[in-house]
Amino acid sequence: MSPLSLSSRDLPGGVLITVTGELDATNAHELESYAESHRRPGPGMVLDLGGMTFLDSRGLHVLLRLHAAVGEQGGLLRVAAVRGRPARILQVTGVWSVLTIHPDAQQAAVAMCGHGADGVRKPS
């Protein structure tokens, strides 16, 4: 089991949150709390999931709640670098098509700063 690690960095118009490790029922509340405490009004939030190795249904629900919460403030949650098993979970559940997915955090940050959706990746 890989513990959850969270870090953040302010970006023009939003925040980048890097998620590393496993996101599951034992720690999903940590991501939700952390994201809520670092969220600010503006174009949105980028979640860099490149280091996330596991995602269960509880983590999936947190992603959907964050998507809704950021949207309620007029922003957009951008998910970056999701791959492997977490990507497969998002695809199988249909959540992939709900979220704005970018190949990496840099492209997501550029799109957020430009308020566009350039670089959105579709499942392969």
Give the pLDDT confidence of 57-107 residue by residue, as tens digits: 999 999 999 999 999 988 999 999 999 999 999 999 999 999 999 999 999
E runs forming strands in 5-124: 5-11, 14-23, 44-55, 76-80, 100-102
Q: What pLDDT score does 31 carry?
A: 97
Mean pLDDT of the chain: 90
Kindly state the percentage of the chain with pLDDT values over 90: 76
Under 8 Å CB-to-CB from 87, ≥6 apart: which residues?
96, 123
